[in-house]
Amino acid sequence: MREGQAPVIRREDYTAPAFWIDTVDLTFDLDPAKTRVLNRMKLRRNPDVATQALRLDGEELNLARVLVNGQGTSFKLDGGHLVLENLPDGHEPFELEIFTTCCPAKNSKLMGLYVSNDSFFTQCEAEGFRRITYFLDRPDVMASYSVTLRADKARYPVLLSNGNLVDQGALDDGRHFAKWVDPHRKPSYLFALVAGQLVAREQRITSRAGKEHLLQVFVRPGDLDKTEHAMNSLMHSVAWDEARFGLSLDLERFMIVATSDFNMGAMENKGLNIFNTKYVLANAATATDTDYANIESVVGHEYFHNWTGNRVTCRDWFQLSLKEGLTVFRDQEFSQDLAGEPSARAVKRIEDVRVLRTAQFPEDAGPMAHPVRPDQYIEINNFYTVTVYEKGAEVVRMMQTLVGREGFTKGMSLYFERHDGHAVTCDDFAQAIADANPGSALAVLLPQFKRWYSQAGTPRLQASGHYDAAARTYTLTLAQSCPPTPGQPHKEPFVIPMGLGLLAPDGRELPLQLATEAAPVPGHRTFVVTQASETLTFQNIDAEPVPSILRGFSAPVILDGGYTDAQLLTLLAHDSDPFNRWEAGQRLALNRAIKYIAEDNQGTRTLALDEAFIEAMRGVLRHPTLDAAFKELVLTLPAETYIAEQLDVVDPQRIHAVREAMREQLAHALADDWQWAYETHRDTGGYQPDPVSSGRRALAGLALTQLCLVARQSGDTVWPGKAYQRFKDAGNMTDRFNALSALVSSGHSLAAQALPRFHALFKDEALVLDKWFALQAGAPDRGGNVLPAVRQLMAHPDFNLRNPNRARSVIFSYCNANPGAFHRTDAAGYVFWSERVIELDALNPQVAARLARALDRWKKLAEPYRHAAREAIARVAAKTDLSNDVREVVTRALA
Ligand code: ARG
Ligand code: ZN
């Protein structure tokens, strides 16, 4: 354990390590209660750093022996560090041998070496390797690893580590061993081992470059029939990285192993990726379309890290977005390229932006706001955030926009030419992309562009148009600003790439010709906004146009477009940019929600959606050529959390009531259309997770939910009956689960029959049970019924607080994803939250700290919520034995 008050780590304090570690030879005697680790390293002093003691990181280790060049030596243990002062002078390499033990069975933090289902797994990023052995546990120390694993053969038949298997055999007493050598140098956070009863799906492939590789997906026996999609995704990933970036697999063997106990999604350990089962296991009967899509993107993400992260890694953890933002960008592009059709690509883009705006924008506006490249942290695990990942990906995307797709590929090549095998910074990346594209907007504006790395907060872009009929010009004035964030009261202007189109009143796309241009420039245009305020003047405009601003969501900003309803209806009907077409529908809905929320009348009965809005939604739903997936996105109202972000004072109950009322009105007003949509989209043939059929299922699912909602008011039993029938007969989990959630979300009594039936059907499928728990904890609140249900779910024999997926399925689904039920006037939701944060913190600080963030936005809450939320946070903060993880979150929340 680290002792004393946790220090603040600052980016500006970075110094190179005093020692380099060249080789590491590890021998493990694996035993759940007491695993022995022999660590033999070759080290040498870093000639660039003045002579210092060697301070090795360590956590929860029992130290048995330390030898330097084979001799005993004096050492100190200082707050978890192993300090060696009497090391040989000079720059000659020396040998250090450290023998320690640890207890994987008691490791509930799931960092370092731990046991799950009687198998061993490791998680070392960011600072877990120090829980395995004493080490310079920092990403800029890269070493060559060889690893020998020894364990009971019957209990742990499969022994895996990074790189190549070079030897294996039997030992005495029914034990066996395997020796692995990783041909690539790596930082300690990429170390991994796995041991247990596992089986593998295998695939041999030949790369474009003509090399042979073995791909393996390891799972528990019984799960092999759920590995086909992960393997296909892996093969697609290998081919894509070669085709798009010329990056080939640099290993003979690439392994993925699934574990059901995992703090995050997955981990890119060199050659031995370890995954949460949620992002590996899928078959038609157990996984939904969303699961299939997530598996594809997470498999891609971890595979792409093999270059962006592993071959070139981070100098320090402040540079986390160097690998994460870039790799999220790469996995987003991968999924778009696999989706193929422009309309399917657009759907993926809309989904990605929706995540950014519902999760990252609130983070950027709250107490945990931080730049994409943070300046300080107490616990690095708290900075694996949507800002570092998703906003970081948007920053990379803007670079690609500014240099073009080919220019970006050139930039990537230069990046690897310069930095392959090294630990570098975000500056190095941006510099490489700019240098490969001299004269590009990025190269010209690089210092200003890099404010995206250094300034936190979501910029606002305010647009106002002026049409001059006499001059036939249209002037668009753009003003940008960015609100203060913790530690950053004042912001400088950003470089904002702005995709733009102008639509004639009849929806026709107008040619764009700036006042300074001799002729219109054809095709899609992006303008680069750099000033606090600037104007663009277009000529030869015959009638007042409707501007389509920020097409494709070309920058992660909030656009204040000042749009009228009429303009939005034009965009929704005609915009050739699918993103802005969807956005127009969202804005129409949002404007209405905000108006109803503000109305004095606290009830929602008089709330009446206007014909124009309903007709526009009907037009999309019945549209002859739009994709079903796109229709489903347009007809889904903005999320409660997204609506909340638009308001200065948030009454979560009121938001929930208004959104529900709007949903019900859309259900009623479009009842015939929903019926038509359901009947025409419900059958998608044999299950295929492709974008077209999953889009059809999504639209049919939404239609069924809406039809059950109608029935809820009318008392009609036909549609709930159909939903129940669908629930029973469905040939795949997507349709089955959609039918079940239609019953649950409409509160129909048939839900009470369907839920136990679902449980009985899937009692042995952990990931399906997670869905079952999550559905109930996330159900719409009816008179405060959800919290008691959640407490009951926690008492269910299948509930297990130690399993992060299960804990999330109940507790996070309620506290983070069900605002209408969580924010209660009696504060009982907050009491529940504070109990769970404290309870989880004793087991798993990382998971607890995520939960702790559920009340990040408490300052925006209306009374009585605000006061009660503050009290709940203060109650957590008053605990004296909190982890650094939770301490940092609650301290910032109260600041
Ligand atoms: N690098 C992993 C990824 O692919 C995430 C690992 C984060 N783990 C942690 N304990 N913070 O995004
Ligand atoms: Zn990653």
Give the residue, by CA position, lying nearest to ligand 1 atom 3. Answer: 267
Q: What would the pLDDT profile of 21-69 be if each residue is shown by its tens digit?
A: 999 999 999 999 999 999 999 999 999 999 899 999 999 999 999 999 9
Give SS3 for 372.
coil
Query: Is the confidence at residue 331, as pLDDT, over 70?
Result: yes
Tell me which residue of 378, 387, 384 sits closest to 891, measured CA to CA.
378
- Given a contact cutoff of 8 angstroms between Cβ atoms, the answer to whether 223 and 256 are in contact is no
Q: Whose CA is nearest to atom 2 of ligand 1?
A: 267
Residue 257 CA neighbour count, 13 Å, CB half: 29
pTM of this prediction exceeds 0.95? yes
Q: Is the link from the previous residue into 447 a cis peptide, with omega within 30 of 0?
A: no
Active-site annotation holds for 302: yes
Ligand 1 pocket, 885 CB below 6 A?
Answer: no
Mean pLDDT of 812-818: 98
Mean pLDDT of 397-411: 98
pLDDT at 881 over 50: yes
Where helices occur in 626-690 by DSSP H, the ranges are: 628-635, 640-645, 652-669, 671-681
Could you tell which of 107, 137, 264, 320 is best to mutate to test the pocket of ligand 1, judged by most ligand atoms within 8 Å of the CB? Answer: 264
Token digits for 197?
Answer: 């009863």
Å from CA of 282 to ligand 2 middle: 21
DSSP string covering 454-491: H--S--EEEEEEEEETTTTEEEEEEEEE---BTTB---
Q: How far apart are CA 696 and CA 713, in angstroms?
A: 27
Cα(873)–Cα(730) distance, integer angstroms: 44
3-state SS record for 398-461: HHHHHHHHHHHHHHHHHHHHHHCCCEECHHHHHHHHHHCCCCCHHHHHHHHHCHHHHCCCCCEE
Q: Which ligand is nearest to the CA of 324?
A: 2
- Torsional sign, CA 24, 29, 30, 32: negative
By DSSP bridging, strand 164-170 and strand 54-56 are unpaired
- CA-nearest residue for atom 11, ligand 1, is 381
Active-site residue, from 125, 127, 296, 302: 302
Whether residue 263 has its Cβ less than 6 Å from ligand 1: yes
Taking the C-alpha atoms of residue 569 and residue 581, their distance in angstroms, rounded to an integer, is: 9
* Test site for ligand 1: of 109, 267, 270, 850, most ligand atoms within 8 A of the Cβ: 267
Confidence label for 1 from pLDDT (cuts 50, 70 and 90): very low
| Mutation test residue for ligand 1: of 110, 125, 329, the one with most atoms within 8 Å of CB | 125
pLDDT class for 3, splitting at 50, 70, 90?
Answer: very low
CB 575 within 8 A of CB 350: no
Q: Is the CB of 124 under 6 A from ligand 1?
A: no
Q: What letter would DSSP give residue 53?
A: -
Evaluate: CB of 125 within 6 angstroms of ligand 1: yes
Q: Is the pLDDT of residue 95 over 70?
A: yes
Helix, strand, or coil here: 79? coil
Question: pLDDT, tens digit, for every residue of 591-647?
Answer: 999 999 998 666 666 689 999 999 999 999 999 999 999 999 999 999 999 999 999
For 485-542, the pLDDT digits (tens) are: 999 999 999 999 999 999 999 999 999 999 999 999 988 899 999 999 999 999 999 9
* ipTM for this model: 0.98
Strand runs labelled E in 300-434? 313-314, 376-377, 423-424
Question: Which structure tokens are listed for 894?
Answer: 């109260």
Mean local confidence (pLDDT), 384-411: 99
Cβ of 267 below 6 Å from ligand 1: yes
Model confidence over 693-724: pLDDT tens digits?
Answer: 999 999 999 999 999 999 998 889 999 999 99
pLDDT value at position 6? Answer: 87
Q: How far is the CA of 394 from the centre of ligand 2 (A)?
A: 15
CA of 560 to the centre of ligand 2 (A): 32
Query: Which percentage of the chain shows pLDDT scores above 90?
Result: 96
381 lines ligand 1 (CB under 6 A): yes
pLDDT given for residue 713 in this prediction: 84
Provide the strand spans (E) within 563-651.
none
Q: What is the pLDDT of residue 208?
A: 87
Instruction: Give the Å distances, CA to CA, from 557 to 301, 532, 602, 863.
Output: 25, 14, 32, 30
Check pocket membership of 264 for ligand 1, CB cut-off 6 A.
yes
Query: What's the pLDDT at 81?
Result: 98
**Which atom of ligand 1 is nearest to 846's Cα?**
10
C-alpha of residue 24 to centroid of ligand 1, in Å = 23
